[in-house]
Amino acid sequence: MEHGRDEHRERRSYVSSVITVLALIAVRIALGAAIGSVASIDRRVVIDTIRAHAGTCCNHRSARCVEPALERNRMKKLLFVVLLGAAGCGGSSKPADTAPTSSPTAATADIVDTAVAAGSFKTLAAALTAAGLIETLKGPGPFTVFAPTDEAFAKLPAGTVEALLADKAKLTAVLTYHVVAGKVSSGEVVKLTEAATVQGGMLKIDASSGVKINGATVVKADIEASNGIIHVIDTVLLPPQ
């Protein structure tokens, strides 16, 4: 009869220890989610709890106490399961990693594709196609393009665009007058007073009040492309006759 009561007490002690361990794991997870740190509960607490249970067992003179090898094996298994669960459920003292922030990357579209994607250079794209310059500006470069918008072309006298499209040589001269070899950022442009174009002529640069190229205002600068850079201007540049 006494042996049965001891057995019952040990079972209750065993269940109590398991519940305590599970409670510790739950607290560990909660603390990890709330403050990103579980330093206040470490595996030593779990180990001490297991050892306390083993000590209680021996103090009660239960039948298991006369089988120490079996008891130690059971304790090892329980300790392994508990520590494995703790390691997988918030064992790290660092908060969960978030998705990596993307760092800025180089532009992947070339000058032509970048201009087309912008949607405000339809006339320029048509002119480049008519002049056969698409492949050139899709080449390795690098190029700096002072790109007039559709509104800039619309400011030309009536019939000018049509006349240019009909004269490939003149159209090519006008378009290449907007292109400078190399990649020249706005920070470099403002240091210049002139720049040589692919057409052969020179562009006058005035950075005293904003940036003006032959009198045309740069309305947007430094549009990156994989083979150069675009600066948007509000007026079409016409080479000297």
What single string gives the DSSP state of each residue in 58-80? Answer: HHTT-GGGG-HHHHHHHHHHHHH
Q: Are residues 211 and 126 in the same domain?
A: yes
Average pLDDT over the chain reads: 75
Mean pLDDT across the stretch 23-36?
Answer: 52
Tokens in use for 143? 């190029």
Which domain range does residue 81 map to?
Answer: 2-88
Omega before residue 142 within 30° of 0, cis: yes
Higher-pLDDT residue of 107, 72? 107
pLDDT in tens, 125-164: 999 999 999 999 999 989 999 999 999 999 999 999 999 9
Q: Are residues 70 and 120 in the same domain?
A: no
Q: Are residues 133 and 78 in the same domain?
A: no
pLDDT in tens, 192-236: 999 999 999 999 999 999 999 999 999 999 999 999 999 999 999
> In whole angstroms, what is the distance from residue 36 CA to residue 30 CA?
9
Q: Are residues 83 and 120 in the same domain?
A: no
Q: Are residues 224 and 138 in the same domain?
A: yes
Q: Are residues 69 and 127 in the same domain?
A: no
Domain end (from 88, 123, 139): 88
Residue 196 belongs to domain with CATH number = 2.30.180.10
pTM of the model: 0.57
Domain annotation covers residue 105:
no
Output the pLDDT for position 34: 43
Domain annotation covers residue 131:
yes
Q: Are residues 74 and 132 in the same domain?
A: no
Q: Are residues 66 and 35 in the same domain?
A: yes
Q: Which of 155, 137, 153 has the alpha carbon at shortest distance from 145?
A: 137
Contacts of 188 (CB under 8 A, 6+ apart): none
> In whole angstroms, what is the distance from residue 38 CA to residue 6 CA?
37
